[in-house]
Amino acid sequence: MHILVVEDQQDFARNIKRYLETESYSVDLAFDGETGLHQGLTEEYALVVLDLNLPRMDGLEVCRQLRQAGRSMPILMLTARAGHQNVVAGLDSGADDYLTKPFDLEELLARMRALLRRGGESRSPVIAVGEVDIDTNSHTVRRAGQVVSLAPREYALLEFLALNRGIAKTRLEIIELVWGEYDELMFSQTVDVHVAYLRRKLGKEIIVTVPGKGYMMGD
Same domain, 88 and 28: yes
CATH at 57: 3.40.50.2300
**Statement to judge: residues 154 and 48 lie in one domain:** no
Q: What is the pLDDT of residue 163?
A: 77
d(CA 70, CA 7): 22
What are the residues whose beta carbons fall under 8 Å from the beta carbon of 14, sequence distance 6 or more? 29
Domain boundary pick from 99, 119, 139: 119
Phi-psi group of 144: left, alpha or beta (phi > 0 → left; psi -120 to 50 → alpha; rest → beta): left
Statement to judge: residues 135 and 78 lie in one domain: no
pLDDT at 120: 46
Cβ-in-10-Å burial (0-12, 13-18, 19+) of 97 comes to middle
* Residue 38 and residue 113 in one domain: yes
User: Which pTM value belongs to this model?
Assistant: 0.59
136-155 tens-digit pLDDT: 777 889 999 999 999 988 99
pLDDT tens string for the chain (219 positions)? 899 999 999 999 999 999 999 988 999 999 999 999 999 999 889 999 999 999 999 999 999 999 999 888 899 999 876 555 656 676 777 888 888 888 889 989 988 988 887 754 444 568 888 899 998 777 889 999 999 999 988 998 998 888 778 878 888 878 877 776 655 555 558 899 999 999 999 999 999 999 988 899 875
> Helices 59-68 & 33-42, crossing angle to 10 degrees?
20
| Same structural domain, 102 and 138 | no
50 and 23 Cβ atoms separated by less than 8 Å:
no
Total number of domains constituting the chain: 2
Do 139 and 99 fall within a single domain?
no
Instruction: CATH number of the domain at 193, please.
Output: 1.10.10.10
pLDDT, mean over the chain: 85
The last residue of a domain, from among 94, 119, 144: 119
Query: Looking at the DSSP assignment, which residues form a beta bridge with residue 6?
Result: 30, 50
Range of the domain at 35: 2-119
- Residues 93 and 21 grouped into a single domain: yes
Q: Are residues 15 and 106 in the same domain?
A: yes
Structural domain ending residue among the three candidates 119, 143, 159:
119
Note whether 114 and 157 are same-domain residues: no
Q: Are residues 156 and 88 in the same domain?
A: no
pLDDT for residue 188: 59
Q: Looking at the structure, do residues 54 and 156 belong to the same domain, yes or no?
A: no
